Amino acid sequence: MCEQNNYFICSSGISVPSRRQVLAGVSTVLTGVAGCSNVLRSDTRDGEGDTIEIIVVNETDEVAQVGVRIEGDRKALFSRVYRLEPEKTNESAGIETSPTEIYAFTPTGAAVTWEYTPDPDLNCEGQDIGITLTAGGTIESWYGC
């Protein structure tokens, strides 16, 4: 049998905190740990500089499809057909290996191929690959960080 004060004191002489005090303590601990989630993660990375992002932009006023194929040492590193709403951008993909060639094309006949030659004026590792379908229906390539 236990008596209740601020703590439960049982007949064995052991004092046990009340339920309210346990919940208050757990709440305090969880609040303190919540801001440390990045520190506790085991898959920490040095940031986005490790991944070369593939950024595809539709500048037209219509839904568009843009095919993208990226190769490195004559092997496919990435291949996808994007379906983009008007004036939308997709930045959902990336590659870890530095590519050699990029191919971009549309069903309407626009196509471009270029070698991956990052812009020396950009100061970042693994420069992102930008592909823009312009309002005029042409494809432009660019690099970003």
72 Ramachandran zone, left/alpha/beta (phi>0; psi -120 to 50): beta
Mean of the pLDDT values across residues 3-7? 52
Of 111, 108, 117, 28, nearest to 68 (Cα)? Answer: 111
Confidence category of residue 91, pLDDT binned at 50, 70, 90: very high
Give the pairing type, strands 52-58 and 128-133: parallel
Look at the pTM and tell me if it is higher than 0.85: no
Residue bearing the bigger pLDDT, 46 or 126 = 126
Residue bearing the bigger pLDDT, 88 or 4 = 88
List where CATH 2.60.40.4150 sits in the chain. 48-144
Query: Strand, helix or coil at 23?
Result: helix
Query: Strand, helix or coil at 19?
Result: helix
Phi/psi of residue 50, each to 5°?
-80, -25
Please state which CATH class domain 48-144 belongs to. Answer: mainly beta
Mean of the pLDDT values across residues 85-91? 98
For residue 44, give every residue at least 6 positions away whose Cβ sits within 8 Å of its Cβ, in sequence order, or none: 38
- With a pLDDT cut of 70, the percent of the chain lying above it is 66
Highest mean predicted confidence (pLDDT) among 4-18, 31-45, 52-66 = 52-66
Residue 41 has pLDDT above 50, yes or no: no
